[in-house]
């Protein structure tokens, strides 16, 4: 028997969610690939690197959160890989500079340095 969510087929909902996540991952991968090419040419700016780190770690967090949701209660059980991926995704937003620091770097790159705006 198929599980229904709001009178809809759960499998269709899960497939649509997976396709949306895959589209976001594909966009992020293209962005990271472009950043790698720029880095190899010595042209990657700190601001663009910060944008890549911010966007990809935030995406990782959203995707793993959605996956935990799709797994239900099993998503929190340490026997399942998704629970470890969820914990790893959270710490990714802290390693090599927190998301807040990445936002500061990006803001300064576009001229929004609070030290220069006040005074």
Total tally of structural domains belonging to the chain: 1
Does residue 47 fall inside a structural domain?
A: yes
Domain that holds residue 85: 7-117
Does residue 1 fall inside a structural domain?
A: no
The pLDDT tens digits of the residues spanning 58-81 come to 999 999 888 888 888 888 888 989
pLDDT for the residue numbered 67: 85
The pLDDT tens digits of the residues spanning 19-28 come to 888 999 999 9
- The model's confidence at residue 109, banded by pLDDT at 50, 70 and 90, is confident
DSSP string, 21-32: HHHHHHHHHHHH
Does residue 64 fall inside a structural domain?
A: yes
- Residues of the chain with pLDDT > 90, as a percent, come to 34
Q: Which tokens in the block code for residue 116?
A: 């220069």
Higher-pLDDT residue of 3, 71 = 71
The phi and psi torsions of 9 (rounded to 5 degrees) equal -70, 125
Does residue 39 fall inside a structural domain?
A: yes
Top mean pLDDT of 5-9, 17-21, 42-46 is at: 42-46
Alpha helices in 1-119 (DSSP H): 10-40, 46-71, 81-92, 99-109, 114-117
pLDDT for the residue numbered 5: 53
Q: Which residues pair with 4 in a beta bridge?
A: 9
Higher-pLDDT residue of 36, 65 = 36
d(CA 7, CA 17): 17
Does residue 2 fall inside a structural domain?
A: no
Q: What's the whole-model pTM score? A: 0.75
Please report, for the domain that includes residue 74, its CATH number: 1.20.140.10
């Amino acid at each position: 028997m198929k599980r229904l969510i709001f009178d809809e087929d759960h499998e269709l909902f899960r497939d649509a969610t997976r396709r949306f996540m895959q589209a976001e991952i594909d966009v992020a991968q293209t962005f990271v690939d472009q950043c790698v090419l720029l880095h190899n040419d010595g042209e990657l700016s700190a601001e663009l690197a910060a944008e890549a780190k911010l966007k990809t770690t935030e995406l990782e967090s959203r995707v793993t959160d959605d996956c935990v949701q799709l797994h239900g209660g099993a998503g929190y059980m340490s026997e399942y890989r998704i629970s470890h991926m969820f914990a790893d995704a959270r710490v990714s937003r802290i390693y090599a500079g927190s998301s807040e620091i990445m936002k500061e770097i990006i803001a300064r790159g576009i001229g929004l340095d609070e030290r220069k705006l006040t005074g």
